[in-house]
């Protein structure tokens, strides 16, 4: 049996863990400094909590868990097609994102929560997607949401957070924003006021299927070619005009929702530009749609600014938006929320591509004590204890192998210092410190060693 792991999943080695933790820690610290508090929810949710929240495609991609015990007991004999059998033999599933479990959490614990509730959550999610480059079946999401406040100051804060995280990570980005109310306006203008979400879902695929593909998708929904052409022109005019000129347009005067969307965007832009110097570019993009159906206001998408660095990365690395009624599905209506989610795996790939992981994060053990045999090793244990008490990470090689083998171990593990204590050194009450890079050796006492290592 050749050991392996399921398709689309990954092991993380110590070297990868250090880099991943650098990303998580950066995001976590920024979240915390803005007052967001951590929560965690279980990997498994009740199947009914998740089903129907991500569209038909999402329902199919949810990993379902087989009931324990004799799950076939009492199943009607003709229930043998996968779909109807699933309901009988599975009542739990792995979470598909962090937003729906968060909405469930808020409703379930509403009496213990202080609103507005600012929470962050960094946990894995699972999707039965076809595995491909950069797309995994298990991956981490790093979400922050504010729930219970409809102030646009929250949007501004989240933009600041995005700017701060990517500034710290040294990735130049473009933060694109749009507003679903503007898209709602477009839907009204082409005579399809109830189809905004379908239209948004179609527009979201622009990069993948182009305008011809979108036209076909729209036709499939019963939106005819002349409506589609009208929509295309609206998007085009939006792309070519700046916000202020949209504000002066006939649309603004005639379409309430559209006007509200424009006003919100203008407020966010004006406030940001009057107050801060964002390191990132903030851009209005009327064709930005986002593929999630619960957004109702501001939508945000972040991409690497390839004009400012050598990245080839075109996928979004962070996204989010405002949803006015996500908790409604769980019985708590009229609570507005807004949130963002960083894609840690994609950020990892960009940092690798740009060679932007700091060198000093690959820290491991600082000192390896060489093992010359049982008696010497036992003597070393005391030195080791002193090093630990002084806060220096140190380890004793557990076996009395050839010294070259032990040096090789230090090399491979990137341990910068080695301490040698043989019978001679024990007799003299000293030790030898070897700097691995220079191969230089120096005799000193163990207290001198600690003084030296804590000073560098």
Q: Which of 54, 63, 251, 295 binds a second copy (CB under 8 A)?
A: 63
Residue 72 within binding range of a second copy, rule CB under 8 A? yes
Of 76, 83, 75, the closest CA to residue 51 belongs to 83
Name the minimum Å distance from CB 299 to a second copy. 19
451 binds a second copy (CB under 8 A): no
* Residue 154 to residues 107, 190, 277, 336, Cα–Cα distance (Å): 21, 32, 18, 11
Between residues 282 and 396, which has the closer beta carbon with respect to a second copy? 396
Among 143, 164, 217, 345, binds a second copy (CB under 8 A): 164
42 near a second copy (CB under 8 A): yes
Span near a second copy by CB under 8 A; candidates 156-164, 240-248, 306-314, 440-448: 156-164
In the complex, minimum distance from the CB of residue 441 to a second copy, in angstroms, rounded to a whole number:
21
What dihedral angle (degrees, nearest 10) is formed by the CA atoms of 157, 160, 166, 169? Answer: -90
Check the CA dihedral 407-413-417-421 and report its sign.
negative
Does 452 bind a second copy (CB under 8 A)? Our answer is no
Q: How far is CA 377 from the centre of its chain?
A: 45
Q: Which residues pair with 434 in a beta bridge?
A: 418, 441
Region of 154-162, 194-202, 242-250, 416-424 interacting with a second copy (CB under 8 A)? 154-162
Contact set for a second copy, span 355-384 (CB under 8 A): 364-365, 368, 371, 377-378, 381-382
Which of 24, 34, 211, 357 is the binder for a second copy (CB under 8 A)? 34
Q: Does 76 bind a second copy (CB under 8 A)?
A: no
Cβ pair 352, 245 in contact under 8 A: no
**Is the dihedral angle over the CA atoms 15, 16, 22, 25 positive or is it negative?**
negative
- Mapping DSSP to helix (H, G, I), strand (E, B) and coil, where does residue 307 land? coil
Find the angle CA(34)-CA(39)-CA(40) to the nearest 5 degrees. 145
Helix (H, G, I), strand (E, B) or coil at 149: coil
C-alpha span between 423 and 119 (Å, rounded): 58
User: Which positions from 327 through 356 interact with a second copy, judged by CB under 8 A?
Assistant: 329-331
CB of 419 to a second copy, least distance (A): 13
Residue 113 or 354 having the CB closest to a second copy: 113
What angle in degrees, to the nearest 10, is found between the helix axes of 256-275 and 180-189?
150
Nearest approach, Cβ of residue 374 and a second copy (Å): 9
User: Do residues 422 and 376 lie in contact, with contact meaning Cβ atoms separated by under 8 Å?
Assistant: yes
* Residue 60 near a second copy by CB under 8 A: yes
Taking the mean position of all CA atoms in its chain, how far away is CA 124? 9
Q: Which of 80, 310, 437, 456 binds a second copy (CB under 8 A)?
A: 80
149 binds a second copy (CB under 8 A): yes
Out of 22, 24, 211, 409, which residue is the one contacting a second copy (CB under 8 A)?
409
Member of 143, 157, 188, 301 binding a second copy (CB under 8 A): 157
Cβ atoms within 10 Å, residue 92: 19
* Binding to a second copy in span 107-146, by CB under 8 A: 107-109, 112, 114, 116, 118-119, 124, 126, 128, 137-138, 146
Residue 39 sits in the site that holds a second copy (CB under 8 A) = yes
* Minimum CB distance to a second copy, residue 63 (Å): 6
Nearest to 318 by CA among 115, 147, 167, 148: 167
Among 22, 71, 211, 357, binds a second copy (CB under 8 A): 71
Range 268-327, binding a second copy (CB under 8 A): 271, 274-276
Quick note: the x/- pattern for a second copy over 208-247, rule CB under 8 A, is ----------------------------------------
Phi, psi of 84 (to 5 degrees): -75, -30
From 11, 212, 334, 440, residue interacting with a second copy (rule: CB under 8 A): 11
Three-class DSSP category at 319: strand
> Is 422 one of the binding residues for a second copy (CB under 8 A)?
no
Contacts of 244 (CB under 8 A, 6+ apart): 266
Tokens of 287: 């064709």
Cβ 121 vs Cβ 41: under 8 Å: yes
Q: How far is the CB of 136 from a second copy (least distance, A)?
A: 9
Q: How many residues bind a second copy (CB under 8 A)?
A: 108
The stretch near a second copy (CB under 8 A) out of 6-14, 198-206, 241-249, 428-436 is 6-14
Backbone angles phi, psi at 407, to 5 degrees: -60, -40
């Amino acid at each position: 049996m050749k050991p392996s792991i399921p398709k689309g999943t990954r092991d993380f080695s110590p070297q990868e863990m250090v880099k991943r933790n650098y990303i998580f820690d950066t995001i976590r610290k920024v979240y915390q400094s803005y007052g967001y508090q951590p929560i965690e929810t279980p990997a498994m949710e009740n199947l009914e909590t998740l089903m129907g929240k991500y569209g038909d495609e999402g329902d199919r991609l949810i990993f379902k868990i087989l009931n324990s015990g004799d799950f076939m007991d009492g199943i009607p004999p003709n229930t043998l097609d996968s779909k109807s059998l699933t309901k009988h033999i599975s009542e739990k599933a792995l979470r598909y994102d962090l937003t729906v479990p968060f909405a469930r959490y808020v409703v379930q614990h509403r009496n213990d929560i202080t609103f507005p509730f600012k929470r962050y959550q960094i946990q894995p999610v699972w999707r039965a997607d076809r595995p491909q480059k950069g797309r995994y079946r298990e991956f981490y999401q790093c979400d922050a949401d504010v729930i219970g406040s409809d102030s646009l100051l929250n949007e501004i804060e989240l933009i600041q957070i995005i700017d701060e995280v990517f500034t710290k990570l040294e990735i130049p980005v473009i933060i694109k924003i749009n507003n679903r109310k503007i898209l709602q306006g477009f839907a009204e203008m082409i005579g399809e006021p109830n189809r905004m979400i379908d239209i948004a879902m179609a527009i979201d695929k622009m990069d993948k299927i182009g305008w011809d593909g979108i036209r076909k998708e729209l036709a499939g929904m019963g939106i005819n070619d002349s409506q589609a052409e009208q929509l295309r022109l609206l998007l085009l005019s939006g792309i070519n005009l700046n916000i202020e000129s949209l504000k002066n347009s006939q649309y603004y005067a005639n379409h309430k929702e559209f006007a509200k969307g424009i006003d919100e965007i203008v407020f966010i832009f004006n406030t940001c530009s009057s107050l801060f110097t964002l390191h990132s570019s903030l851009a209005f993009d009327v064709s930005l749609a986002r593929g999630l159906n619960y957004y109702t206001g501001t939508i945000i998408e972040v991409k690497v600014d390839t004009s400012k660095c050598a990245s080839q990365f075109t996928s979004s690395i962070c996204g989010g938006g405002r949803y006015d009624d996500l908790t409604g599905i769980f019985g708590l209506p009229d609570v507005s929320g807004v949130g963002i989610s960083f894609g840690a795996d994609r950020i990892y790939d960009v940092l690798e591509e740009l060679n932007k992981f700091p060198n000093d994060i690959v820290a491991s053990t600082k000192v390896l004590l060489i093992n010359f045999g049982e008696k010497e090793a036992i003597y070393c244990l005391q030195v080791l204890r002193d090093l630990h008490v002084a806060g220096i990470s140190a380890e004793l090689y557990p076996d009395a192998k050839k010294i070259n083998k032990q040096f090789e171990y230090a090399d491979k593990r990137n341990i910068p210092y080695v301490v040698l204590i043989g019978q001679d050194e024990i007799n003299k009450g000293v030790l030898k410190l070897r700097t691995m890079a220079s191969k230089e050796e120096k005799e000193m006492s163990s207290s001198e060693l600690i003084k030296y290592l804590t000073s560098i």
